[in-house]
Structure 1
C-alpha cells in the first residue's frame, strides 16, 4: 500500500486490515483467525456495555455516564466493520491513485504529492496523540479511583460477580481496558484514513490544476504545429480522464464512509451535550474532570477534521475552472478552446462530501453542530 502506509500498518496490527501481500497464502488464514478473535472480543465488550446501560435505568447519573461511553464504543465498532466489509472498495480507490494519470510527472508535482503525504502523516500523529493521551488519562484515573475499591472503569454486564474474587475482578478490569484501547485505536486510525484520503484527493486536484496552468512547456512551443495539435488533444483527453478519476474516487469515498460519518455526527451531538453537562458539575481538580476534558477534546477534534478536510476538497475542486482559465489560451487551437469551455462548464460545481447524504462536510456544518449542542445544553440546564 503506497498511500497512507502508516495508517494501514496500525490497522493491520489491530486485526482489521489484511496486508495485500498475504492474500492467497497461509498467512491470510492465520490473519483471518486473528481478526475473528479481535471482532469477538470487541463485540462482546460492546454488548456488555449495552446490557449494562439497559440495567442502569434506575440510576440517572449512571445511565448518562454509561450511555456516553456506550455510544462511543458502538461508533468504533461500526467503523471496524465498515473497514472489514469495504476493504476491496478501498483497495480499488488506492489503485486509482496509483494509476498513470495520478502519478507525479515532474518535480513540482512530486513536491505537491510529498506535501500531501506529510500532511496525512502529521494528522495521524497529531490526532493519534490526542486520542492516546485521552486513553492514558482515563486509564490513570481508573487506576487511582477503581483499583482501591475494585470497581470497573466502565458500566458493563458480566455473567459473574467480579467483586467477590480478585481474579475475576482483574480479568474484568483488563478486559474493559482492552476494549477501550481497541475502541480508541481503531476509531482513531479509521478517522485518519478518511482525513488522509481527503488530503490525497486535494493533492490530485492541485496536480490537475497545475497541469492546466503550465501545459504549454518550452518543448511544445518549439514543436511543429501538427505535433502541437496532437499533443493538445492528448493533454485534454488525459486531463478529462484524470478529472473523471478524481470524481470517481470522491464518489466511492463518500459511499464507503458516508454511513460511519453520519453515525458519528448523529451521536456526537448527543455525546457533546451530555459530556458538557457532566463536566459542569465536576470539580476542576478531579481526575474525572481531566478524563472528560481529554475525551471531549478528541470528540471535537474528530468532527472538526472531518469538516475541515471535506471543506478543503470542495474549495480545491471549485478552483479548477479558474486554473483552466489561467492557462495559455492564445496558444490553444480552436478545437481545444471549445473543449476546455465545455470542461469549465462541467467543473463549476464543486465536489461535496456528505454525511449520510444529509449533512455536508464543511466548516459551517461544524459550527452548526456546536450551536445545536450548546442549545441542547441550555435546555438541559433549565430542566435540571
Structure 2
C-alpha cells in the first residue's frame, strides 16, 4: 500500500511538463554541463517561441488601424498574457512546486492504509485523468481547427493573427509565417492547459486528503475507545499537515487563478465581439474555431473554480464526520479531545486568489456575468 502511485492521474503529464520547460528537471542542482543545460532549457525553448510570439501579437494589436481590426487579435493576445503570468509564476516558484509534488507523492503521512482507501483513491484519480485529458485534447483540437480552417479561405490568412516582419501574403512566403504560427501556438496552448491541469490537480489532491480524513473519522463508529483515541491523534496530525499543504498550494495557484479570472471576462468579450463581426457565411471555419475557443475558455475558468470549491466543501464537511464517530460512548477525556478538534475545525479552509476573492463557483458565475456586461458595452460603443 505504501507503493501506491498517489499521482497516477498526472504522472505522464509531469514528464510532458518537464519537456515543455514548465517544471524543473530532477537532479538539476549540480555544476555539470547537463545540469546547466536543464536549468537554461526552459528559457531556450520559450524565449524564441512563446515570448516572441506573444510580443508580436501585442504589436499587431497596438498597430491596428481601427478597433475592429484590433479585436481580431486582442482575444488571443489577452489569453497569452495569462500564460505569461502562469509561466513566470511557476518558474519563480519552481522549487516550491517540486517540493509540493514530492510531498504528495512520497510523504509517508499520506499513505493509503487499506483496500477501501486505495479503491477510493484510484477511482477518483481516473475520473480526474479522464476529465483533463478531454480538456487538453479539446484545447489542442481547437488549435488544430484554426490551423486547417485558413486553407478554406479565399485570401491568405493566418490561423491566429500576429505581426509578421515581412510580406507573407504570397504563395512562396505564406508557409513561413503559417509554420511559425503553428509551432508557437501549439507550445503556448499546451503550456497553458498543462499549467491549468497542475494547479487544479493540487487542489484536487488536497480535497481528496480531506475526504480521506472524513472516511477515517467515520470508520471509528464501531472502534473501541482505546483504539479510537490513538487514531484520533493521528487524524489530527494529518489534518494539520493537509492544512499546511493548502497554504503551500495557495501560494502556487493564487497568481495564475487571479490572472485567469481577471482576463477571462475580456477574452470571452472580445471573442464574442469577433464572432458578431465575422459572420458564419463569410468565414465558416474561423467562426466554428472561435466558438470552440469560447467553449474551452469557459471550461478553463470553471475547472479551477470547481476544484477550489471542492477543497473548501470537503474541508468544512469534517465537522459532520466528527459526529459520525461513536463520541457519545467515549470518556470525558476523549470527548474533550474531540471538542478541541471541533474548535480547530472552525478555522475555515479556503484557497484565495491574491487578497481579492476565494476560489470557488461564485467567482465563476461573476466572471461570466462580467464578460456579458463588457460585451454589451462593447457592442454599444461600436454602434
**Where in structure 2 are the equivalents of 1:1-384 lying within 5 Å?**
3=7, 4-20=10-26, 24=30, 27-41=34-48, 42-56=50-64, 58-97=65-104, 98-145=106-153, 149-163=155-169, 166-167=172-173, 169-215=174-220, 221=224, 229=226, 231-285=227-281, 286-383=284-381, 384=383
RMSD: 2.3
Q: Aligned with 2:262: secondary structure?
A: helix
Measured against aligned partners, the alpha-carbon deviations of 1:142-169 in whole angstroms (never above 9, x if no partner) come to 2333xx64443333334444446825x4
The 2-side partners of 1:46 and 1:28 are apart by 29
Residue 95 (structure 1) shift? 3.0
- Taking the aligned partners of 2:81 and 2:70, their CA distance within structure 1 comes to 16
Change (3 A) 1:164 1:131: closer
Secondary structure of the residue aligned to 1:281 is helix
CA distance in 2 between counterparts of 1:288 and 1:342 reads: 60
Instruction: Give the Cα separation in 2 of the matches to 1:151 and 1:284.
Output: 16
Q: Check the 8 A contact 2:71/2:273 in 1, yes or no.
A: no
Q: Is the 8 A contact 1:96 1:245 kept in 2?
A: no
Mapped contact 2:86–2:255 kept (Cα < 8 A): no
Deviation at 1:377, TM superposition (A): 2.1
Change (3 A) 1:29 1:198: same
Does the aligned pair in 2 maintain the 1:77–1:183 contact within 8 Å?
A: no
Runs of 5+ consecutive residues of structure 2 not aligned to the other structure? none
Partner-residue secondary structure (3-state), 1:370:
helix
**Structure 2 Cα separation of the partners of residues 2 and 18 of structure 1:** 20
SS in structure 1 opposite 2:109?
Answer: coil
Number of equivalences: 371
Secondary structure at the residue paired with 1:327? coil
**1:49-76 deviation digits (Å, cap 9, x = unpaired):** 12222211x2221111111111111211
TM, length-normalised to structure 2: 0.89
Change (3 A) 1:86 1:372: same
Residue 183 (structure 1) shift: 1.3
Query: Once the two structures are superposed, what CA deviation does each residue of 1:214-240 show, in whole Å capped at 9, x if it has no partner?
Result: 13666xx4xxxxxx64x5554233212
Per-residue deviation, 1:131: 0.3
